[in-house]
């Protein structure tokens, strides 16, 4: 016996203290947002740090030889911003009742409403590694005496495992485009009913009138592109949320560390950049992340964020496009409802009971809404057509 069968879990306060190769062996190659490069760029750029209310508290599961077997991206939060699974109402209710909701623990990719693994397990790890991590998360929450622990946008299998571990389950929804083997954008249009097909053609014509649009990837993206995009991003963020989450340095690090996964759609008018949409590419999926614009350009948002993403996905043979959070208007443009998941551990028994009751009713409402949206608003041809 060499002691390698002894397992331990520790909290790591900077991702840079974990070797990138070890973390990525656990994270896998499919989803760019749980990669060491992405998460560490958030920390190194001071986008996710104590000062912004995202104090890293990552979990590391190691064997007796110090080999990383599993990990969890976890943060101590002093607010509920940048999560996209909204619990502000829970916080207000708990504090009105005399409780203290913050700080709380959050297992997530900061500022990123993208489904992916949250319990990162190295191939060949013990079969109970995920359950050990789930139990460790609860133990740390109890020791830290936080009000709650939240796991946002896990995979469905993790959602089910966390439910078995005692977490409350929450259902959400986004809108995703699925590639049905289309050869080009016209093939996709051919799958739509005539009215929606005409609408999209009209929107694309209007968006491109007087505007030139380029889709950039990897080494095609330079500092001048990031300068322009950051200007759009901060302008749009300030209007919507009051401040931008991501620093300028973050985008430099993103381009340097994982440029081959970056897909940047940039729009020009009279030779000057006026808008941009940032996407990251996974193994099978193109993920829409941030949009920014200076000026008023009809339908340019749809063109840059939705239609150009579909163009790129078809050209690269990707299976889907995930266009981010919210936006029922996406369904009319070929993005159909898809479930998202979150899991929540609540310390206070009375508060837990109230949240559990709310989530039961909310799940039924979300399921009904998704059915009604797809049935009533889907742009795709019916069988009779």
Q: How far is Cα 23 from Cα 14, in angstroms, rounded to an integer? A: 12
Domain ranges in the chain? 8-172+340-373, 180-318
DSSP conformation letters of 172-200:
EEEEEEE--S-SSHHHHHHTB-HHHHHHH
Contact present, 295 and 341 (Cβ < 8 Å):
no
Q: Determine the angle formed by the axes of helices 36-44 and 248-258, rounding to 10 degrees.
A: 150
Per-residue pLDDT tens, the chain, 385 aa: give them: 455 679 999 999 999 999 999 999 999 999 999 999 999 999 999 999 999 999 999 999 999 999 999 999 999 999 999 999 999 999 999 999 999 999 999 999 999 999 999 999 999 999 999 999 999 999 999 999 999 999 999 999 999 999 999 999 999 999 999 999 999 999 999 999 999 999 999 999 999 999 999 999 999 999 999 999 999 999 886 555 557 899 999 999 999 999 999 999 999 999 999 999 999 999 999 999 999 999 999 999 999 999 999 999 999 999 999 988 778 889 999 999 999 999 999 999 999 999 999 999 999 999 999 999 988 889 999 864 4
pTM assigned to the model? 0.95
Element (H, E) at 328: none
Q: Is CATH 3.40.630.30 what the domain over 8-172+340-373 is classified as, yes or no? A: yes
pLDDT value, residue 238 = 53
Q: Give the angle 127-60-117 at the CA atoms, nearest 5°.
A: 60
Residue 228 CB partners (closer than 8 Å, separation 6+)? 266, 273, 276
**pLDDT per position as a tens digit, 297-331:** 999 999 999 999 999 999 999 999 998 877 888 99
Res 375: pLDDT: 87
Token pair listed for 228: 């322009």
Looking at domain 180-318, its CATH architecture is: 3-Layer(aba) Sandwich (3.40)
Three-state secondary structure call for residue 151: strand
């Amino acid at each position: 016996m060499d002691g390698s069968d002894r397992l331990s879990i520790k909290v790591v306060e900077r991702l840079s203290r974990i070797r990138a190769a070890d973390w990525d062996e656990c994270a896998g190659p499919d989803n760019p947002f749980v990669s060491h490069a992405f998460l560490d760029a958030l920390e190194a750029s001071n986008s996710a740090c104590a000062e912004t209310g995202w104090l890293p508290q990552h979990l590391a599961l190691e064997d007796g030889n110090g080999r990383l077997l599993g990990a969890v991206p976890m943060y101590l939060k002093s607010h509920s911003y940048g999560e996209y699974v909204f619990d502000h109402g829970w916080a207000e209710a708990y504090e009105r009742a005399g409780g203290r909701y913050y700080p709380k623990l959050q297992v997530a990719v900061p500022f990123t409403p993208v489904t992916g693994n949250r319990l990162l397990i190295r191939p060949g790890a013990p079969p109970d590694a995920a359950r050990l991590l789930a139990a460790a998360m609860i133990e740390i929450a109890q020791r830290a005496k936080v009000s709650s622990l939240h796991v946002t946008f896990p995979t469905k299998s993790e959602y089910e495992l966390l439910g078995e571990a005692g977490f409350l389950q929450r259902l959400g929804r986004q809108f995703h485009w699925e590639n049905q083997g289309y050869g080009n954008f016209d093939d996709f249009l051919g799958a739509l009913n005539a009215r929606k097909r005409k609408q999209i053609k009209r929107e694309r014509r209007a968006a491109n009138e007087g505007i030139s649009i380029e889709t950039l990837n990897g080494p095609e993206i330079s500092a001048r592109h990031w300068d322009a995009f950051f200007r759009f991003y901060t302008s749009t963020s300030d209007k919507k949320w009051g401040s931008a989450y991501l620093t300028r340095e973050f985008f430099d690090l993103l381009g340097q560390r994982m440029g081959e996964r970056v897909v940047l759609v940039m729009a020009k008018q009279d030779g000057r950049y006026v808008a941009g949409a940032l996407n990251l590419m996974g193994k099978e999926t193109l993920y829409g992340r941030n949009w920014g614009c200076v000026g008023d350009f009809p339908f340019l948002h749809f063109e840059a964020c939705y239609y150009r993403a579909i163009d790129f996905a078809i050209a690269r043979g990707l299976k889907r496009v995930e266009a981010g959070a919210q936006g029922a208007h996406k369904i009319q443009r070929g993005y159909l409802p898809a479930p998202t998941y979150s899991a929540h551990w609540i310390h206070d028994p009375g508060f837990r009971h109230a949240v559990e009751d709310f989530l039961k009713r909310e799940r039924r409402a979300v399921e009904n809404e998704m059915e009604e949206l797809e049935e009533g608003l889907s742009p795709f041809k019916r069988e009779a057509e």
